[in-house]
């Protein structure tokens, strides 16, 4: 569940309308379960039809038009597959959902669609940020789908003081764009809302030496 949680929590938590803001924002993405026709589906379905048609024609029929159909479909499928492999290198994957709002971080709150959730209403926050627009994906052999991500596989998980939870999926436009939230994340950690492990993971801090130096910095 994603943005629909806003309506559930509106009566229980401290939301403040604020439509004017200059803070760091990320587009909220809501996934859809609707079927999306992908290049992989087209190519492999066509190949399956080719194989099945060719087998039936060879096994049970003689000089059947099905045999020529299977050969023609196979040739066309091969050509389309080659084209998709090359065009896919510069094409973003299809969005399986829609953008439906804005996630915004502030010093003492988190805003969703310009409605503010006070940190005092939050028990824990967790960010999982690894995706960004135009990140290379689908690189294994035989994959005809587009090779560039839309950057929407990032998550903010909020646990409220009353035990309820909210999961938000959001877009990162550039690699390491989330690092702009560094000061806010450090503040969330010092207020007990974000664990140290989650903090260094969100800030991409790795290696024993770097982690120890960071500990001293925020102490």
Crossing angle between the packed helical segments 39-60 and 65-87, to the nearest 10 degrees: 160
- Could you tell me how many residues make up the chain? 219
- Cβ density class 21-43: b for 16+ within 10 Å, e for less: eeebebbbbbeeeeeeebbeeeb
User: Which pLDDT value is given to residue 10?
Assistant: 40
User: Which pLDDT value is given to residue 11?
Assistant: 40
Average pLDDT over every residue of 55-63 = 74
Q: Under 8 Å CB-to-CB from 1, ≥6 apart: which residues?
A: 166, 167
The per-residue pLDDT for range 184-219, each reduced to its tens digit, is 999 999 999 999 999 999 999 999 999 999 999 998
Residue 17 structure tokens: 């309308």
Average pLDDT over every residue of 7-15 = 42
The per-residue pLDDT for range 64-113, each reduced to its tens digit, is 777 788 888 888 999 999 998 888 899 999 899 999 999 999 999 999 98
DSSP 8-state secondary structure symbol assigned to residue 93: P
pTM of the model: 0.79
User: Which pLDDT value is given to residue 58?
Assistant: 74
Q: 63 pLDDT band (50/70/90 cuts)?
A: low
The SS3 assignment for 195 reads coil
Average pLDDT over every residue of 144-165 = 95
User: Which pLDDT value is given to residue 12?
Assistant: 44
Considering only 33-47, 155-169, 198-212, which range has the smallest mean pLDDT? Answer: 33-47
The per-residue pLDDT for range 101-146, each reduced to its tens digit, is 999 999 999 999 888 999 999 999 999 999 999 999 977 888 999 9
């Amino acid at each position: 569940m994603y943005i629909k949680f806003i309506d559930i929590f509106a009566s229980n938590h401290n939301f403040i309308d604020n439509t004017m803001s200059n803070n760091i924002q990320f587009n909220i993405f809501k996934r859809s379960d609707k079927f999306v026709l992908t290049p992989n589906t087209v190519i492999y379905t066509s190949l399956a039809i080719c194989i099945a048609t060719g087998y039936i024609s060879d096994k049970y029929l003689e000089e059947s038009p099905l045999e020529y159909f299977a050969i023609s479909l196979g040739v066309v499928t091969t050509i389309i597959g080659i084209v998709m492999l090359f065009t896919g290198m510069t094409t973003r994957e299809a969005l399986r959902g829609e953008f439906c709002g804005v996630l915004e971080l502030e010093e003492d709150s988190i805003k969703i669609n310009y409605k503010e959730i006070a940190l005092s209403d939050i028990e824990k926050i967790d960010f999982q940020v690894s995706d960004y627009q135009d990140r290379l994906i689908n690189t294994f052999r035989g994959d005809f789908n587009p090779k560039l991500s839309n950057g929407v596989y990032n998550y903010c998980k909020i646990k409220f003081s009353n035990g309820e939870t909210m999961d938000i999926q959001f877009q990162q436009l550039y690699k390491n764009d989330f690092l702009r939230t560094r000061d806010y994340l450090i503040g969330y950690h010092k207020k007990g809302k974000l664990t140290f492990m989650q903090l260094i993971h969100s800030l991409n801090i790795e290696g024993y030496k770097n982690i120890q130096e960071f500990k001293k910095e925020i102490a």
